[in-house]
């Protein structure tokens, strides 16, 4: 049929001596012209708190359909269409990739911002726990994608991979404040939905995978938030310029992460820092409470009790410790909110029936510096094909 080939995309590409691939990378490196895949996450959550009773929730958290098309040996298109909570539809990725050389690929469209582990590797069978780490919800914030253009590539002789993109930034103000202390930049993600840009931002990442079982990453994001007040701004109106400038913040974000696997041992860790300039003026104009510094990290360890099992099954008990503070520092008269200085501990296990199917169970302990404590029991099903 016009020479078209059709296959299902590869499942999880995890090898202790090579780089781990996510869904987009698997599609880009697939052989046939048309590749189809997907992943899904189905959750049960039961909040627990002293003296209070909460209903449990059951949710098809996300169902994602993956489509890739190879126009030639060098030119490919990758897309992800996501349905969240059954009723919400998003485009998670949609970008064109052209390879000039293995170390020089031109990439443009709706792309993941290469910050941290989970934002790029968020398929449910690739991480422990029913829910993603809260650090990657409040600080990064996953799943974070914007429209941009840039380059990526790899130097296999040096075991290095890089990404560098110019992208539109967060929507910080469109008649109301989008940033707040409770969840940082999360409400400002534009997600490629009629995004606007008043100034470009830069996102970049470098990965090293030369040591068997170990992958190290450093990432950065720099620029200003976007504001509708710059649209049609009269450059001679100094008062309007001052107001417009008060509706934006400068963002400088740094991320460090590491993943390690040796035999049955699995470990990972991540550190994120975000410096926010002009937060005092932004809060004064918008009435919000964004901090001037956000900081967080986590460490996680697990062990595969079925390591060496010939049928590919894995049984991994794990523990994850997270500390993150969206009010690590505040400016002006804004007082730090102690409830934003949070500690989460997650203890659980995952049973991988195959490389692309997993059953998960865990319990989470939540606390903060305001001495508020709660918990949550979770069950989940994860699928990736």
Q: For the chain, how big is the Rg over CA atoms in Å?
A: 21
Query: According to the model, what pLDDT value does residue 22 have?
Result: 87
Query: According to the model, what pLDDT value does residue 53 have?
Result: 80
Could you write out the three-class secondary structure of 209-276?
CCCCCEEEEEEEEEEECEEHHHCCCCCCCHHHHHHHHCCCCEEEEEEEEEEEEECCEEEEEEEEEEEE
pTM given for the model: 0.92
Query: According to the model, what pLDDT value does residue 26 have?
Result: 82
Query: According to the model, what pLDDT value does residue 195 have?
Result: 96
Query: According to the model, what pLDDT value does residue 156 have?
Result: 95
Give the right CATH number for 6-384 from 2.40.160.10, 3.40.50.620, 1.10.150.570, 1.10.3720.10.
2.40.160.10
Query: According to the model, what pLDDT value does residue 52 have?
Result: 81
Could you tell me the CA-to-CA distances from 332 to 173, 214, 294, 296, 338 in Å, in that order?
A: 20, 43, 16, 22, 17
Per-state percent for the chain, helix, strand, coil, to nearest 5:
10, 55, 35
Q: What is the mean pLDDT of each run of 10 residues along the chain (385 residues)?
A: 37 44 82 90 93 90 96 95 94 97 97 97 96 96 97 97 98 97 97 96 97 97 98 93 97 98 97 98 98 98 92 95 98 97 98 96 97 96 96
Query: According to the model, what pLDDT value does residue 27 have?
Result: 82
Query: According to the model, what pLDDT value does residue 19 have?
Result: 56
Tens digits of residue pLDDT in 336-377 = 999 999 999 999 999 999 999 999 999 999 999 999 999 999
């Amino acid at each position: 049929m016009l020479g078209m080939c059709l296959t299902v995309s590869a499942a999880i590409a995890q090898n202790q001596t090579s780089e781990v691939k996510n869904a987009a990378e698997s599609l880009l490196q697939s052989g046939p012209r048309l590749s189809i895949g997907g992943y899904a996450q189905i959750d049960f959550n039961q909040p627990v708190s002293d003296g209070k009773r909460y209903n449990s929730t059951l949710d098809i958290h996300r169902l994602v359909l993956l489509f890739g098309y190879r126009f030639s040996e060098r030119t490919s298109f990758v897309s992800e269409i996501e349905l969240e909570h059954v009723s919400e539809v998003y485009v998670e990725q949609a970008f064109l990739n052209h390879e000039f050389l293995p170390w020089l690929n031109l990439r443009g469209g709706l792309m993941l911002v290469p910050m941290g582990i989970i934002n790029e590797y968020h398929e449910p069978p690739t991480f422990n726990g029913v829910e993603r780490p809260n650090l990657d919800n409040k600080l990064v914030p996953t799943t974070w994608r914007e429209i941009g253009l840039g380059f990526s590539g790899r130097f296999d002789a040096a075991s290095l991979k890089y990404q560098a993109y110019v992208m539109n930034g967060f929507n910080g103000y469109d008649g109301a404040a989008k940033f707040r202390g409770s969840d940082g930049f999360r409400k400002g993600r534009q997600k490629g939905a009629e995004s606007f840009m008043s100034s470009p931002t830069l996102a970049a990442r470098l990965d090293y995978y030369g040591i068997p079982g170990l992958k190290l990453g450093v990432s950065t994001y720099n620029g200003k938030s976007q504001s509708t007040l710059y649209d049609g701004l009269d450059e001679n109106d100094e008062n309007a310029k001052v107001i417009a400038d008060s509706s934006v913040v400068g963002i400088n974000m740094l991320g460090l992460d590491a993943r390690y696997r040796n035999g049955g041992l699995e470990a990972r860790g991540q550190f994120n820092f975000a410096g926010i300039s002009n937060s005092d003026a932004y809060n004064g104009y918008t009435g919000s409470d964004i901090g001037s510094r956000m900081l967080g990290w986590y460490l996680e360890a697990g062990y595969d009790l079925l390591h060496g099992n010939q049928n590919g099954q894995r049984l991994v008990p794990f523990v994850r410790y997270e500390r993150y503070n969206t009010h690590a520092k505040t400016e002006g008269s804004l007082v730090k909110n102690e409830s934003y200085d949070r500690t989460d501990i997650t203890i659980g296990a995952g049973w991988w029936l195959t490389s692309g199917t997993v059953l998960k169970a865990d319990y989470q302990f939540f606390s903060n510096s305001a001495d508020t404590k709660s918990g949550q029991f979770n069950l989940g099903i994860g699928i990736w094909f």
